Structure 1
């Protein structure tokens, strides 16, 4: 006998809770900037403030990717929201979460302790949703694929110091800032970008409100999550 279909609302609730915690951390840590010299106010050196913001953002991207995976897997297994929303399946549904992982990966021996779904790739997510559903809420993800890929580049630079991560982050910073002669200040890092005001690519309201890139990304993730799990 088939069991009850999995639930999905808690997946969004968990993500939004983690996102709020990261927003609060980023906002509060900036209140402690100081300690640059003996005459200044007591507090943390800006370098350490930026590092905390970087780590908060790294957690946001990881939480977003976990949200995508958990939502997609549950929808393929027949999950519905408390408002009775579910994507419209083209075919039959998976019989369990484990079966859903096998279906989405194309691997009948999928092992969650070893294997993974490619949720860091926005096109893979939307292509998978397009394949299994005739109507779904993942469409805006591919529309924002450039922003999401640049978020991954920021996250990767926080996590790694490889030349590729440095090169990718530099391209991301230039994409957002459009500096003269494509030159960034020496030592410019992810924290600098995340705390800098939005100049383009996030829409005029974000620019006019002088939202930071961290806040603009938070708003984007919230909007997309509410589309995926309305």
Structure 2
């Protein structure tokens, strides 16, 4: 996913700038703007991931192969074309990709749908990543919306990753702050020992999954 490379580069560039909390003539950027850039970069990757899942699934159903020649083993005949694949996956003969959408943000739906069409497929890798993907959606949704539901969901995600005392977060704690903190749990031991931020750990995780789905 080229979006991962772009997001990493953008975040690395913004984090390399000196921090300036108070107005002055010194060169620097306020932390809140760093957080905003990180949040938008992360939101872009999550959106790109969902588009990647949709495009790969649709094309696999239509019989496409990867550049390495890989293709899932189909149970029945393949779709006639991309539009036909959308109609099969949505179970809607009038499906319009510009107006309708597939439930690709739901990893369980993706796995079950792939199980229906293929006897062997790469989407099985999503089964062990349910929490990873669910909390990524929670972070993305909080960046995009400030509803009570999104706020509550994000708080659950932050507590899940950080386990603060009594489950309390610092007032005003947001997605950017979480993404820039080093991972403490729920990621690989290698990521924890390397002191990766939640942003970088998520980028690594998405990259691994993408390479498994389109090998």
TM-score (norm 2): 0.97
Whether 2:191 is the aligned partner of 1:206: answer yes
Closer/same/farther in 2, CA of residues 205 and 137 from structure 1, 3 Å limit: same
* Contact in 2 for aligned 1:153/1:172 (Cα 8 Å): yes
- Using the TM superposition, name which of 154-163 and 80-89 deviates more: 80-89
* Equivalence for 2:108: 123
Whether 2:180 is the aligned partner of 1:195: answer yes
SS of residue in 1 equivalent to 2:119? strand
For residue 41 of structure 1, report the CA deviation from its aligned partner. 4.8
Residue segments in structure 1 that go unaligned for 5+ positions in a row: 1-15
Closer/same/farther in 2, CA of residues 25 and 225 from structure 1, 3 Å limit: same
* Equivalence for 1:52: 37
* Equivalence for 1:158: 143
Q: Which deviations, in whole Å up to 9, do the C-alpha atoms of 1:104-142 show, x marking residues without a partner?
A: 001111011111000011111111111111111111112
Q: Which deviations, in whole Å up to 9, do the C-alpha atoms of 1:177-210 show, x marking residues without a partner?
A: 0111001011000000000000000111110001
SS of residue in 1 equivalent to 2:16? helix
Whether 2:80 is the aligned partner of 1:95: answer yes
SS of residue in 1 equivalent to 2:13? helix
* Equivalence for 1:21: 6
TM-score (norm 1): 0.91
Q: Which deviations, in whole Å up to 9, do the C-alpha atoms of 1:147-204 show, x marking residues without a partner?
A: 1010000000000000000000000000000111001011000000000000000111
**Aligned alpha-carbon RMSD (Å):** 1.2
- Using the TM superposition, name which of 36-45 and 197-206 deviates more: 36-45
* Equivalence for 2:208: 223
For 1:132-147, list aligned pairs within 5 A.
132-147=117-132
Residue 133 of structure 2, aligned match among 148, 153, 158: 148
Whether 2:20 is the aligned partner of 1:66: answer no
- Stretches (4+) displaced over 6 A: none
State the number of aligned residues. 215
Q: Which deviations, in whole Å up to 9, do the C-alpha atoms of 1:75-124 show, x marking residues without a partner?
A: 00000112211000011110000000000001111011111000011111
Closer/same/farther in 2, CA of residues 83 and 122 from structure 1, 3 Å limit: same
* Contact in 2 for aligned 1:33/1:49 (Cα 8 Å): no
* Equivalence for 1:7: none
- Using the TM superposition, name which of 183-192 and 139-148 deviates more: 139-148
User: Which whole-Å CA distance do the structure 2 matches of 1:40 and 1:130 have between them?
Assistant: 60
For residue 36 of structure 1, report the CA deviation from its aligned partner. 1.3
